[in-house]
Chain A
Amino acid sequence: MAKKFSQEHEWIELEDGIATVGITDYAQQSLGDIVYVELPEVGKKLTKDGDAAVVESVKAASDVYAPLDGEIVEVNEDLDDNPALVNEAPETDGWFFRMTLTDESQLDELMDEAAYNDFVEGL
């Protein structure tokens, strides 16, 4: 499935019922050098727009909200040792977590890439 995007600058990619979530290239550029990512525990239940993770630069800590309802099944442990992955490859190796979805139809509320690019343009 093609990537979807949230207004909170997350990308979501669904494969076999599991969504992979990360922050967009635009987000990592605005945050600057990422020094730490606080990831949720596997098994944590997420509610759309609720707290999911925290991404930290030297002078700022930003909450990452859950783009959808669901449950965490895996987190990117590589980020523990190498948070710079979020800067280097935000939309591939720098993914944050994988989750199951309670309601796949929530994906329809998110933007496709073209719409997200327009959204970022307008900021």
Chain B
Amino acid sequence: MRYLPLTSADRASMLETIGASSVEELYSDVPDGALLDAPVDLPSHLGEMQVERDMMALAAKNTGASSVPSFLGAGAYRHHVPATVDYVIQRGEFLTAYTPYQPEIAQGTLQYLFEFQTQVASITGMDVANASMWDGATSCAEAVLMACRATRRKKAVLSGGVHPHYREVTETYCQYSDTEVAGRDGNPEQQATVEELDDLIDDQTACVVVQYPDVFGRVQDHTKLAEVCHAKGALLVVVFTEAVAFGAIKSPGSFGADIVCGEGQSIGNALNYGGPYVGLFATTQKLVRQMPGRLCGETVDQDGKRGFVLTLSTREQHIRREKATSNICTNSGLCSLAFTVHMSLLGEDGYRRLATLNHENACKAADALDAVPGVTVVNDSFFNEFTVKLSKPAAEVVETLVAKNVLGGVPLSRLYPNRSDLDNYLLVAVTETNTDDDIAALADALKEALA
């Protein structure tokens, strides 16, 4: 087998050194009957060519998102990833390294984590960021738990604009730690007011969680909400699903947010049918010791040269065990590298231009769709994603569009299966990858489907 270098002669000589008669003897602690004497019932080994053929056959049964006009978002976005990104993350020194426990031989990983943390803090407008979480939804849950620790309170209020997956994961994480998750149902036609959220905040509320832009695509100012939260001793948590947006809109930090976290997939990472992605997590200097996850910090070595180490690890599970701030261990290392490389390529000008192009394309698409009979654009404001109301159930329309080779968007019924009032709504994301032809194809297909 090509990955196994030992020869029969090696094995025999090694067993002799060990003083064992067979490999089976090394398993003598396994209880009687539990040691299998033959391979399990699965296919035998394959050469590289056969494996590739098998996997290509599976791939051929899918419709790649870039092979047709595609307008799906709802927490994952198709963007162009420069070739440099994939080259860098496939370098073996990055790909096959592990968590930088030995900083003397892991300065490469540590330095890019320091750069990553700085980039994340910069785009979110916060003081500090950690070295990544698993994804946006788990970051949201961890932010709520962190707010509970920091305020010693046990309730979170989630705005109706928060992505249902983020809400479900937060509820799952909180359900066994006596933490109440309250909030309003989402409504694409009407945004919750600060007053409505204010009513839900009491002296046990650790935080209010809002999404920016929200799950329906709306862009809302949360300055006032931050003030309301702070007056009641609660934290404001701002989550996001589209990291490109902060190139065009004000940062959550400028509202006075205490924790800003969300999904970093958009920058440097492929769609990958939902994972692996990279959770971004930023906060204020004041709350840094309550943060979950790994942190990279600057220091000097024995010779006085600048270097980087993992730091503040006393927050973490391997030291604090049951008192740790989170059980997270492995994070999204390589995805954060992809993010860092892409962001380095973009730079200030590229990042902001990319955001502008996304927004312009979305504006163009919104106008084109609004002109289609049976389609109404619901949003007043949006970045690169907006909600439209259709004259027919959106899930059916999306299936009709598939037949016309268009991936037309995400029906809200998929995100809110128990909300029949949302059946006719469709979430449409438009990025820099969508051409004018794509937009025309979507408008035409919708026109036929709704006729």
Contacts and interface: CB of A to CB of B under 8 A. Distances in A.
Interface of A: 35-36, 38, 56-61
13 contacts: A35-B314, A36-B289, A36-B314, A38-B289, A56-B314, A58-B314, A59-B313, A59-B314, A59-B319, A60-B314, A60-B319, A61-B320, A61-B323
Given A36-B314, A59-B319, 10 more contacts: A35-B314, A36-B289, A36-B312, A56-B314, A57-B314, A58-B314, A59-B314, A61-B314, A61-B319, A61-B320
Nearest to B323: A61
Interface residues of B, number: 7
Q: Main secondary structure on chain B at its contact with chain A?
A: helix
Interface in B226-246: none
A50 to B, nearest CB: 14
Contacts of B289: 36, 38
Contacts of A61: 314, 319-320, 323
Nearest to A56: B314
A35 B319 CA distance: 15
Contacts of A60: 314, 319
Contacts of B313: 58-59
Between B289, B313, B314, B320, the greatest number of chain A beta carbons within 10 A of the residue's beta carbon is seen for B314
Interface string B288-322: 01000000000000000000000011100001100
Interface string B313-340: 1100001100100000000000000000
A98 B278 CA distance: 44
Contacts of B323: 61
Closest 5 CB pairs of A and B: A61-B314, A56-B314, A61-B320, A61-B319, A60-B319
A60 B316 CA distance: 10
Nearest to B319: A61
Contacts of A36: 289, 312, 314
Contacts of A35: 314
A100 B323 CA distance: 28
A58 B323 CA distance: 16
Contacts of A58: 313-314
Between A35, A58, A60, A61, the greatest number of chain B beta carbons within 10 A of the residue's beta carbon is seen for A61
Nearest to A59: B319
Contacts of B314: 35-36, 56-61
Nearest to B315: A61
B100 to A, nearest CB: 15
Contacts of A57: 314
A59 B319 CA distance: 7
A36 B315 CA distance: 11
A75 B325 CA distance: 24
A58 B297 CA distance: 13
Nearest to B324: A61
Interface string B130-167: 00000000000000000000000000000000000000
A79 to B, nearest CB: 13
Between A35, A56, A59, A60, the greatest number of chain B beta carbons within 10 A of the residue's beta carbon is seen for A56
Interface string B57-86: 000000000000000000000000000000
Nearest to A55: B314
Contacts of A59: 313-314, 319
Contacts of B320: 61
A123 to B, nearest CB: 23
B287 to A, nearest CB: 13
A56 B312 CA distance: 9
Nearest to B152: A41
Contacts of A56: 314
A107 B285 CA distance: 39
A116 to B, nearest CB: 27
A59 B316 CA distance: 10
